[in-house]
Amino acid sequence: MNKYEKYVDIEVITLATCPECGGKAKWEPPFYVCGVCGLALRRHEYERMLDKQKSALWEAQIDQAEGPDKKRKRNREYLDWYLGSKK
């Protein structure tokens, strides 16, 4: 284990955003506790939900970048598949 990894392991975000309601969640070992909805998450659970949020955001950005034309095309392909599968 190098110095950097050790640092990351110790570091904890003391103020986090609740993945459920968007409120402020405080680090109260071993949980992040949301002050708004009372959600309590262990650190790795919180980080996993954060990753999910990030990938959802990423997909939304891809949709935006591709524009409505490509999205329509994708829906069209799905429709073709759906209709085709009914034959």
Q: Is 49 in the site for Zn ion (CB under 5 A)?
A: no
Query: Rg of the chain over CA atoms, in angstroms?
Result: 20
Least distance between Zn ion and beta carbon 26 (Å):
11
Q: Is 50 in the site for Zn ion (CB under 5 A)?
A: no
Q: Is 37 in the site for Zn ion (CB under 5 A)?
A: yes
Please identify which residue in 16, 32, 39, 46 interacts with Zn ion, judged by CB under 5 A: 39
Both structure tokens of 69: 């034309």
Least distance between Zn ion and beta carbon 32 (Å):
10
Please identify which residue in 17, 23, 27, 33 interacts with Zn ion, judged by CB under 5 A: 23
DSSP string, 4-49: HHHHHHH---SEEE-TTT--EEEEETTEEEETTT--EEEHHHHHHH
Contact of 44 with 30, CB cutoff 8 Å: no
- Interface residues with Zn ion (CB under 5 A)? 18, 20-21, 23, 34, 36-37, 39
